[in-house]
Structure 1
């Protein structure tokens, strides 16, 4: 009897192992799983106004245009963190990404739905902040472990259960904030809303958005849009700022030129407060930012689903296929970028830009489905670098070798 039970158990174990191997091979073979995993982040279902900002369906051109119009109304961020000053006073080296990442999370939370976490002071003590960072890390871990691409298997694991717990934390906070804001907007006279229409944050815009039939977004759709903007915005921006700082720290002469440009902007002023129009008067800094985005692409690749059979260099890619666009390779193409591993801001003079194919530089993707937060991100990066370089000089730690993960 014991032998029979043991034999049955062995057969069951063998069947399970074979099943897992088959699932693994299918996951490796089926590249469309990439898009599937992207949809595992807290996000919205397809919607006639919005859709999903990362995995957007093709025919929804009106929705895309509406998103861009509302994105243009975002309030811009003028706050700045003081953590760098603490390290500067001690004349010590420190790892900049953790500081910048908390700052960008503060920024996007404040702009997305006026949620004050004060990440830079409380750090990871805030449960919401803990959940955001945990979800980002677990999503990457799951991506590189194909055997966890199956939902039923993944959510049986400790990591899968933790993923769900963190999703609940993020959603509960969003639910609370959205509910309170809906009450506030309901009690605000329409006239005041119209006067302040250019000062609405992302959540206000979502709550007041209406399609041509006068229909607004549902509660779940609003929450998901905010989550999408958060998860796809803060970490990439932090990476861009950090690599730009590192590049400038590695090239003291280029950094000095940026500082001269910034100092010239403040000549004759009584305060060192930045005005938003100042950002358009920093052309050399803008060139440095673009070169940093080229050299260290925050988003190294993107995926697109073909809406028709497409000839790609003699190969016919069928409709429905998922095409991987490797931005990092595009930005290091030796036929376009001479000495592509070198940091040369002059690549982005107006003359040089005009001489290149516009698709040679696509840090925010390109075309009708490019990043809707592009202007927001560029302004944020420029403001952070301008304020930092106006107060500090960046120096790379000679004893620390920076490696890309």
Structure 2
């Protein structure tokens, strides 16, 4: 009886050991020439990265040790981290990979197989459907929304300026959520009036869990459904999915009502309603039954996340950088005074945003140092020849964009915040894949122009009304990688009325 019990207990462990040994042995036949840190049996290098807060420092330490591409193992699964621009280009321009940026099933439970997580023919079909929603003529119509929501944000921040030091991220996140709902989804949710937004909280929870799972063999195993983390994820998923379903239902009701009456969609004042991203999906679903309700929800979940959270962190880090560099803030403000010389109080136009050249350089430098998505992933679908060796099917490739953009091999004094890096003269001769904050190649960010205009409109509105100052006492940001770069201890600044 005791023997049977011992066999029942030990059999899974023995199976795990055998599986680990043969899988690592298989991959090492191909990867043995690539440097990497010493790994432990069964867990690999997973114990080196216990949290999302330690992830980037540990990975950067590996890079400093090897000064080139390197590999790590999470359990028996190898990850090849690419740090050189030429190697990022090699991966980004090819179509031999399935994209899975957060590496785990968590992303699919949340986003399904939307534009961010799908691959192959489905990705190409959906990209083709969605592309018209980001035509420059449509983007120009969104400027009004950027301005109106920025006005609400400025009003909130003026009230907060009386309190001294504040964490600016929650205010920016609620603003970008309002913007994406009104522009891309065609519905208003008034998130800026909800100081305790459950949606924003739950998105942050899902991102953190996804990254924790990607670097933990235990959390990626069959044991995960029995953990408290899984229960926490399920609760967050319900909130996020219910939120997006309500957004879809609101717009669909208006869309079907207008279609039944055979009229152009219009608002309460009789003005032609903007054609939203969600309208494009609803229109297409009427002509192609294979584009289902689930496909619509997956794409909406994807754009709700990408359109609010990534932009929110990008704006937040750029504002704190400006607050810490008064000479840069002065130049930005002088440029805005020139752009709005005819009327300092008028709203920004499409042309105004195009003329904000120095502000754009500031944003680009912030995106370099505070890389919005530090890691981009691919899973190889078939063996690939690379640098004189074979990369085997099943290998996970991680494009370490944060490292590439903060490496002294490409950027002199990379820790120094210098917007001048992105003027025409200094950009000459730089490898085109040394700076890829919106990815690159066929799978580049479809909303990058949208995001840049939104960032310019929001930041210019803030800076025309408020002076940004560093917190007292000084506050050192604790960067963490939750799939999207965040600060674990907030982003604190002080605000002063102009």
Contact 2:380/2:393 (CA < 8 Å) preserved in 1? Answer: yes
CA distance in 2, matches of 1:296, 1:381: 15
Deviation at 1:362, TM superposition (A): 0.2
Is residue 185 of structure 2 the alignment partner of residue 110 of structure 1?
Answer: no
In the TM superposition, what whole-angstrom CA distance separates every residue of 1:179-236 from its partner, at most 9, and x where no partner exists? Answer: 343332222144515998882222212111269x744621111111111112233222
Post-superposition CA distance 1:334-387 (Å, at most 9, x none) = 232111111111111123223222111100100110111211211111112111
Q: How many residues align?
A: 392
Q: Which moved more, 1:189-198 or 1:109-118?
A: 189-198
Q: Contact 1:207–1:217 (CA<8 Å) still a contact in 2?
A: no
Report 1:6-405 matches (<5 A): 12-14=8-10, 25=43, 28-31=75-78, 35-37=103-105, 39-45=107-113, 52-57=115-120, 60-61=123-124, 63-72=126-135, 73=138, 75-76=142-143, 77-78=146-147, 79-80=149-150, 81=153, 82-90=155-163, 92-124=164-196, 126-150=197-221, 152-188=222-258, 189-193=261-265, 199-209=274-284, 214-215=288-289, 217-269=291-343, 271-306=345-380, 309-318=383-392, 321-397=395-471, 398-405=473-480
Structure 1, unmatched stretches of 5+, are 46-50
CA distance in 1, matches of 2:278, 2:271: 14
Residues of 1 paired with 2:285 and 2:271: CA distance?
Answer: 18
Q: Secondary structure at the match of 1:371?
A: coil
Say which structure is richer in strand.
2
Q: How big is each residue's C-alpha offset from its partner over 1:107-155, in whole Å with a ceiling of 9 and x where there is no partner?
A: 223334244333332222x5444433432333333334331113x4222
Asked whether the equivalents of residues 182 and 207 of structure 1 are also in contact (C-alpha less than 8 Å), the reply is yes
SS in 2 for 1:394: strand
Q: After the TM superposition, which of the residue ranges 67-76 and 333-342 deviates more from structure 2?
A: 67-76
**Alignment CA distance shift 1:384-1:31 (3 Å):** farther
> For 1:111 and 1:11, how far apart are their aligned partners in 2?
60
Q: Distance in 1 between matches of 2:13 and 2:329?
A: 57
> Is the Cα contact below 8 Å between 1:68 and 1:372 reproduced in 2?
yes
Q: Take 1:83 and 1:16, find their aligned partners in 2: how far apart are those partners?
A: 57
Tell me if the contact between 2:129 and 2:284 (Cα under 8 Å) persists in the aligned partners.
no
RMSD over aligned CA atoms reads 3.2
> 2:377 aligns to what SS in structure 1?
strand
Between stretches 182-191 and 15-24, larger displacement belongs to 15-24
3-state SS of 1:205 partner: helix
Which deviates more, 139-148 or 294-303?
A: 139-148
